[in-house]
Amino acid sequence: MPPQARVYANGLVHVPAYLDPPAQHLLLSDIEAALAAAPLFQPVMPKTGKAFSVRMSNCGPFGWVSDRAGGYRYQTLHPETGKPWPKIPAAALQAWTDLAAYAFAPEACLINYYDVSARMGLHQDRDEADLAAPVLSLSLGSSCIFRVGGTARGGKTTALELASGDAVVLAGASRFAYHGVARIIPGTSALLPAAGRINLTLRRVTRPSP
């Protein structure tokens, strides 16, 4: 782990400034190229049909989607274009190698785009078949207030401010912690226009072959 890494009792790791400014610009360029091939779309809640406040896309063999017909799931094709997802950027794969401490490569890189009004409610990541693998998050653009709690819904949460270039690893007990984004903090980065934030979440989807 980089020397600035902060490791919490539940296994969560926060690495401030994992990506320096040139690395952030390079990764953003790769993400923009990916979004040209796999445009952002607006997922909806399976039960209510209510739209998420974030827009999203994916890279990798699998992409995470949500709609009323099929619920939360991973699939190999973009829900609107019908085309395969683009490859995961090299810098994101390197982050997995550096920080994930897991022998198998990620298979999905979820791209969430937050405008200044977007939020993400507290949730667990449990749609993967391989729950032994960690979840790795990379932040680009405006800072956010990231909240993480325990493994049961409700109860106390801890707030972390995540800045552009920060990485977070959910491993150990924190792999199943409820977590979300409470708000975006305008004026904290000029990397993206209009106080935007991009969050990349890398996940292993399938169980490795024996």
Angle subtended at Cα 106 by Cα 50 and Cα 147, rounded to the nearest 5 degrees: 50
Domain boundaries, the chain: 6-203
**How high is the pLDDT of residue 102?**
96
Contact partners, residue 29, CB within 8 Å, separation at least 6 = none
The dihedral of CA 52, 100, 106, 21: what is its sign?
Answer: positive
* Measured distance CA(92)–CA(108) in Å, rounded: 11
* Measured distance CA(153)–CA(81) in Å, rounded: 35
Q: What is the pTM of this model?
A: 0.96
Return the half-sphere exposure (C-beta side, CA atoms, 13 A cut-off) of residue 116.
9
**How high is the pLDDT of residue 170?**
98
Q: How many helices (H) and strands (E) does the chain have?
A: 2, 13
SS3 143: strand
* Measured distance CA(91)–CA(118) in Å, rounded: 26
* Measured distance CA(108)–CA(84) in Å, rounded: 12
* Measured distance CA(201)–CA(143) in Å, rounded: 16
The fold of 6-203 is Jelly Rolls (2.60.120)
Give the residues across from 89 on adjacent strands. Answer: none
Which residue positions in the chain have pLDDT lower than 70? Answer: none
